[in-house]
A = this chain, B = another copy of it.
Amino acid sequence: MRTSPSLTSAQLAGAPLPSPPSSLPDYVADQLRAAILGGHVAAGTPLRQEDIAKQLGASRPPVREALRLLEGEGLVELRPRRGYVVASLNMTEVAEIFDIRERLEEHAAELAALRRTRKDVSEVAALLTRMEALDESELGLFAAANHAFHTRIFQVADRPRLLRMMLSLRETVERYIRLGGALSADMPTVRDEHRAIFAAFEAGDSVTLGRLSRAHVAGTGHRLLAALAAREQSHAG
């Protein structure tokens, strides 16, 4: 038995090597990212290189490279000579990220509204339909559908770097969203917002889509921060 649990095998699921994503460090990074974003490893959890290497059937050097990669993404932190730990965000940092996302997603949405094609609209419509078919009992699936819906719209903007930045920021706060249950809260509101967003996208109304997208991010942020505040309150002491 360990006194300070670092990472159990059950948290790193998946076959040993289903399809090597070009390189071993990338594969390791993918697995770790999924484990962290899936909320299977709590913030502050120390990431022992030896354990990870053994569980993924690799050696330590590739694991180190993967951790460097994740460090750049802000998912893990390096304490010199003390190893890597899963990065933790306080409420101030979460708020800052949502604040940035507001600006970025508003901009991307504006561009998307101007560049949309019929094909884009029909695909986004399909994603919206798929998302609305899910009820609150399938939160995992709903989160995935939600992600696909928004990402598909942003892809229309055709700004690779902007998209990468938005996704990275989103990923960073994603696990908190699930933790705080901010998605399930106020489901009808979220549904209405999605419909309005789609309508503006379909209509090609740039400023409206931008405004709605920004408000949507802000709303999610507020719900999450409220949930985190409540959580912190109950964990006080």
Contacts and interface: CB of A to CB of B under 8 A. Distances in A.
Interface of A: 22-23, 25, 61, 64-65, 68-69, 71-74, 80, 93, 96-97, 99-100, 103-104, 107, 159-162, 165
Tell which of A25, A68, A161 has the most Cβ of chain B within 10 Å: A68
Given A93-B160, A100-B162, 14 more contacts: A64-B65, A65-B65, A68-B69, A69-B72, A72-B72, A74-B161, A93-B161, A96-B159, A96-B161, A97-B161, A99-B159, A99-B162, A100-B161, A100-B165
7 contacts: A22-B80, A65-B68, A72-B72, A74-B161, A100-B104, A100-B161, A100-B162
Contacts of A100: 104, 107, 161-162, 165
A25 B68 CA distance: 10
Contacts of A99: 107, 159, 162
Given A23-B80, A61-B61, A107 B96 contact: no
A161 B93 CA distance: 8
Nearest to A73: B72
Nearest to A97: B161
A161 B97 CA distance: 8
Nearest to A164: B74
Contacts of A65: 64-65, 68
Contacts of A22: 80
A23 B162 CA distance: 31
Contacts of A161: 74, 93, 96-97, 100
A37 to B, nearest CB: 17
Contacts of A97: 161
B96 A162 contact: yes
- For the complex of A and B, the 9 pairs showing the least CB-CB separation, nearest first, are A72-B72, A68-B68, A103-B103, A22-B80, A65-B68, A96-B161, A96-B159, A68-B69, A103-B107
